[in-house]
Amino acid sequence: MLLEARAKINWTLDILGRREDGYHIMDMLMQSVALADTVSLTSHDSIQLSVINGYVSQVSCEAGAAEPVPVDERNIAYKAAKALQRSTGCTNGARIVLEKHIPSGAGMGGGSADAAAVLYGLNKLWNLNLPPHRLREIGLTIGADVPFMLTGGLARVGGIGEKVESISPAPLVWLVLLQPCDGLSTKEIFTAYDHPEDSLCISRPRTQAAQQALLAEDLDSLGLAMDNVLEAISLTKRPKIGVAGRMLEEAGAIRAMMTGSGSVVYGIFPDRSTASIAQAQLIARGYSALLTCTSDTGIAEIEEI
């Protein structure tokens, strides 16, 4: 079985509070994008994982070489397979091959996308027939973004990630992505958010307005309503995120914003042609800009020839 595990962007990211157990209560407008890892699943007598890195880093040389993606229990896709075994008592195995195209430490949910695809695919490969809500419950135990990645498309996401309200129709928007610096630790950014510097100005999104603008395909109004409360925090640690946003807007983006806890910044464009021109301009300046668009699905089965 061959699957596309699609990345995501945050149109908005807001934090409403924190639970007693330390988890943050979120309010986010999220959407899948066409940029995807490829996940291959075949029957095997145990869980085996291998990774092919098909992603060419956009990070400059001074950031240093990226650490290799782990292929053991540290990998969230491996954890997903083990969690599915434990939850069902299934003793089947699988050989999992991940071909990585989604940047790491980017705020695009690459690991969570892989985990979601593994849960989705092994549920079929092992003939478990678990309903979607049960897969989301298992997914939440290994990552807060996994329930959304299993659902895909456009959704309003709340709680700690378990509340996923699908919204349709999911509009098509063209995007250019830049990762101007090395990845950021989600835990580090959330911890810094809880203890901000006094001088830090955090801008909050108008998520309902952004949702309405997106459904109306009013990208100018969307740009005005978007925001990410973590961006100011991430900027203090990676100032190049701000530089990337300005470059995208100078290249014609209606609005540029960091997704998740960073470090990828995306620009929204009115059409593919405008986005392609901006991508070419940024590549000419030495940046590995990626062109993609939003998607109405998070996981797609690929027909093998």
Annotated catalytic residues are: 8, 145
Separation between Cα atoms, residue 256 and residue 267, nearest integer Å: 4
Structure tokens, 3: 């699957």
Structure tokens, 46: 């145990």
Separation between Cα atoms, residue 195 and residue 184, nearest integer Å: 17
| CB within 8 Å of 120: residues ≥ 6 apart | 3, 135, 150, 299
